A and B are shown apart, each in its own frame.
Chain A
Amino acid sequence: MNKPVAMDKLKLIIKREYLAKVRNRSFIVMTILSPLLIVGMIAVVVFLTRMNNDQKKVIGLLDESIYFGNQFITGPELSFVDLEGITLEEARDSVAAMGYYGLLHIPNDTSIEAVSEGIQFYSRNSPSMAVTGMLESRIGKRLREEKLQELGVSQKVVQELASNYEIRTSTFSGERSVKGINELKAAIGGGFGYLIMMFIIIYGAFVMRSVIEEKTSRIIEVIISSVKPFQLMLGKIIGTSLAGITQFVIWIISASVLGVVVFSLMGIHWTELNSGTNIPPETMETINEAAASNEIVEIYLAELLKIPWITLFVSFIIYFVLGYLIYSSIYAAIGAAVDNETDTQQFMFPVIMPLMLAIYVGFFSVFDNPHGPIAVGFSLFPLTSPIVMLMRLPAGVGADGVPWWQLITSVILLMLTFIGIVWLAAKIYRVGILMYGKKPTYRELYKWLKYN
């Protein structure tokens, strides 16, 4: 067959697979609903959290001692109501009657230690950690001050002691660097890696289901009497992934538009959402604190600009395309080998495992040590490299980042694997699509590989 005809047929297949996917009712529903659900869920969580926090907790304070006079002033979360000249019994009753959150009783005694030993908090149910934590820190602070004074440290010194300190860091070459930037970089790479994994899992399964559908509807032999099985497999994978990209783009655009609209309506600032992301809390604190200082913001921007975006982007495309093709051809082969979806279970685990491994290795090892032996190993191993290498790449390529030889080796290994896997998958696919009523075993699949 001449090339143009083969290409025309491939285009026809891609078009059909694409349209079959995007016209599918559940696909349309998912495309529209998912951003609504995600934005809605975040909005609800944020809304509930704020409602919870907005409610100021009122605590009755029965202070019989002389030590804690100025410690319990009303703050943003807690407000205190001083109760004076009544007994503990009366105080408990009235707090309960007033519907306050709780009662803090500070008895009188000779020393502050003895007083603090006797402090008691009464509440209807067991109090929340947030409340007890706040009370404990206030009492603890006062206790420390008192002890320091007893040791002869003046009030002024005590106040000066209470200063925040943050270490300033720089690279060997003398540039200022900031804490948390490595984590941030790894998180950016991790985002790309995660995207690849999600894409593979969602749309790989689509490819598999589509193959099974062709088998169960018995149309497969009609089609492969016109086109080569490999063309059909390739067309199916490409068509499905184009549908997937369409869906992803719609999701990203609509979710961001929706997000901006909803959150601005609710008056939520984006920083409030950060607790939900994968950036470690310390990093966020650093970033928030740093925001106060322009100099540090500039350093962050400079660091972000130093991420080799072009290399990262090109690598993302390469790893995405090759990784997706490898996995989706495995999915296609699985679909061809079975008669229905329930039979796929035994083959699914070995496919999902390297993906999960890559993500876990990425989050637990690459974040801490992007160029350690584990990170290097998994970024070379072809089934995990699309995810792990992308987590390493934001650190840069070359002297202080990923060595060039590692990047090149990784891509070459991935390409070789791609050729090998697609070849094997195509063989299994070609035999499998014409097999009915056989429950395939690994042994059986191995036999298929030897058919002409």
Chain B
Amino acid sequence: MSDLLVLKDLCKWYGAYQALDHVNLEIPRGSIFGLLGPNGAGKTTLIRIINQITHPDSGEVLFDGKPLNRDHIRRIGYLPEERGLYKSMKVGEQALYLSQLKGLSHQEAKRRLEYWFEKFGVSGWWDKKVQELSKGMAQKVQFIVTVLHEPELLIFDEPFSGFDPINANLIKDEILQLRDKGATVIFSTHRMESVEELCDHIALIHQSRKILDGNLNAIKKAHKSNTYEVGLLHDNPQDLKQELDTMFTTREAVFRSLGEELKLRIALENGTGRKELLSLLNSRAEVTYFNEVIPSANDIFIQTVNEQAGGNGQA
């Protein structure tokens, strides 16, 4: 059983509005899974279904091969987009309360909390009220509470919004460590670039439907357009550009460099390899920069949306 979570044909309606439209997903065990899409696409609804906060109108969720039930709650850790703590409650008491609600015993929760508080350097905050904490400190406490019961599945909705860069990095590292220990992680966000580097699998959600999913590298390979960005030093850049224009489709490229070279984005026709391009360029000018353009998740998203819109338009 390689998939920790399988979503089958999920549909969810809010009155006349359909929030999820026959969504199928498999989330591999031990993966970092990016659930990507713009605001209002249905990501949060999907996550709330996994957390049993709402229930699908049709379809099924399998957790570890079994239909989702209340016992699974303690195996899931969830950091919602709308997150916070009781302001007038003491930090330690609050953390104990929230972890006990997840099913930990009082002693066990206390033991683990002491470990994590030590690790994050917040031990001195145990008896402080949340309203006395800085925002960064409260976020650390929030994170600790999410992972304290050592869940097999961790779900972060808009994980880095509201975190300052230092905390965001700290938490990224912790999440990666948890993954290495065997946890499966779902990141849900509309800021695709913020999690792209972390994810090995992604699913793109758009207008209540899944439009694409799979291994991120595979997806990128499938979507790359055989385009290269090059920097060329030449005595007469205008002539060089005109010559290249006759052979390839080119555009001006923008990247940071120190020289005054000609910057071009060259799209190769099918048939031409990067080796041939590189040797051609080498024979004409001094190559200072050569980089294959890999589409970002954002590019892939826009491309897929456009393709499907075009397809639908013709149908």
Name A residues whose Cβ lies closer than 8 Å to a Cβ of B.
Answer: 1, 5, 9, 12-13, 16, 20, 24, 213-214, 217-227, 229, 434, 436, 447, 450-452
Contacts and interface: CB of A to CB of B under 8 A. Distances in A.
B85 A434 contact: no
A452 B145 contact: no
Give the interface centre of A9, A220, A221, A452 by most chain B CB atoms within 10 Å: A221
B117 interface: no
B127 interface: no
Nearest to A13: B101
Interface residue SS majority, chain B: loop
B87 A217 contact: yes
A218 B86 CA distance: 8
Contact of B84 (A5, A219, A226, A450): A219
A92 B211 CA distance: 105
A9 B73 CA distance: 13
Contact of A225 (B76, B89, B100): B76
B145 A222 contact: yes
B82 A451 contact: no
B80 interface: yes
B111 interface: no
Question: B48, B101, B102: which has the most chain A beta carbons within 10 Å?
Answer: B101
A214 B86 CA distance: 7
Contacts, number: 73
Contacts of A9: 101
A450 B55 CA distance: 13
A223 B84 contact: no
A1 B145 contact: no
Interface string B65-98: 0000111010010111011111111000000011
Contacts of B78: 222, 225
20 contacts: A214-B86, A217-B86, A217-B87, A218-B84, A219-B86, A222-B78, A222-B80, A222-B84, A222-B85, A222-B145, A225-B73, A225-B78, A225-B80, A226-B98, A226-B101, A226-B102, A227-B101, A451-B14, A451-B15, A452-B54
A217 B83 CA distance: 8
Contacts of B48: 434
Contacts of B56: 452
A221 B156 CA distance: 13
Nearest to B106: A12
B103 interface: yes
A223 B89 contact: no
B85 A219 contact: yes
A299 B253 CA distance: 106
Nearest to A224: B53
B80 A20 contact: no
Contacts of A1: 69-71, 73
A368 to B, nearest CB: 49
B98 A222 contact: yes
B51 interface: yes
B292 interface: no
Contact of A226 (B57, B71, B73): B73
Contacts of B83: 218-219, 221-222
A452 B51 contact: no
B15 A447 contact: yes
Contact of A452 (B57, B69, B80): B57
A434 B88 CA distance: 21
Contacts of A13: 101
